Structure 1
């Protein structure tokens, strides 16, 4: 199970890197980690810390939470992660647009959860 999670995480990171048209070397440099370490993460051989995941997320201009969820550090809410992944994976949006749209969506979700709590 853990090995599959790491593979899913690594594949997701590789996919996001390729969508951002970044080489492995460039992502490693931007994230402040070594090329071999990033390669091992992408192949599911190493489990990165939350701090490393945050660095990778910043370098890719994606939400760190999406990497935490893939790594099993956070639980994904049903449906929610699919929408955010779709936003992050859209090749027509810029990095800034993706981040802004994801933040707006998340604020709507948070507001909806608050409304549910108020109704109860």
Structure 2
């Protein structure tokens, strides 16, 4: 059981829990057996691209994001139909900072951002992160919030 398999399993489990799904519910929505899903989450099995496609939508992931986490795609090679890379959707500063980090850190940051995006959509949040952070944590330094 490699570190990479465990990390992907943790990301999948964390997203399942954050989505409020049990293994059985994810199984019902995806068509993947609960025992196989459990082995993936524990890092005992590495999911195929076919399995990732099945679980992406019920977990709220874009297929491409899961493929990147699983190393089936590199963040730089993924392009949309128009030929634009998804990295272009990132703030240039964020992209520059992430480009200097190891791939594992990049994947972790993308996973966290994906989870935050899903949480924001689920809460009907229509304000930006900085405004939300100021409201929620007024004691935070402006430099920390805008990093």
TM-score normalised by length of structure 2 = 0.56
Runs (5+) with no aligned partner, structure 1: 98-120
Q: State the aligned residue count.
A: 96
Q: Distance in 1 between matches of 2:28 and 2:72?
A: 24
After TM superposition, the structure 1 stretch with the greater mean CA deviation from structure 2, 62-71 or 50-59, is 62-71
Give the SS at the match of 2:5: helix
The higher-RCO structure (CA 8 Å, 6+ apart) is 1
Give the SS at the match of 1:93: helix
Q: Note the 1:89-100 alignment, pairs <5 A.
A: 89-90=115-116, 91-94=119-122
1:17-69: CA deviation from partner (whole Å, max 9, x where unpaired): 01101111101111101110000000011111101101110111211122111
TM-score normalised by length of structure 1 = 0.68
Give the SS at the match of 2:120: coil
Quick one: structure 1 residues 82 and 45, their matched pair in 2 at CA, closer, same or farther if it must change by over 3 Å?
Answer: closer
The alignment yields a C-alpha RMSD, in angstroms, of: 2.6
Q: C-alpha displacement at 1:86, in angstroms?
A: 4.0
Match of 1:85 among 95, 111, 114: 111
* 8 A contact 1:5–1:72 mirrored in 2: no
Quick one: structure 1 residues 82 and 5, their matched pair in 2 at CA, closer, same or farther if it must change by over 3 Å?
Answer: closer
Runs (5+) with no aligned partner, structure 2: 77-94, 99-105, 126-147
* 8 A contact 1:24–1:39 mirrored in 2: yes
2:5 alignment counterpart: 6
2:19 alignment counterpart: 20
Choose between structure 1 and 2: higher helix proportion: 1
Q: Note the 1:17-56 alignment, pairs <5 A.
A: 17-56=16-55
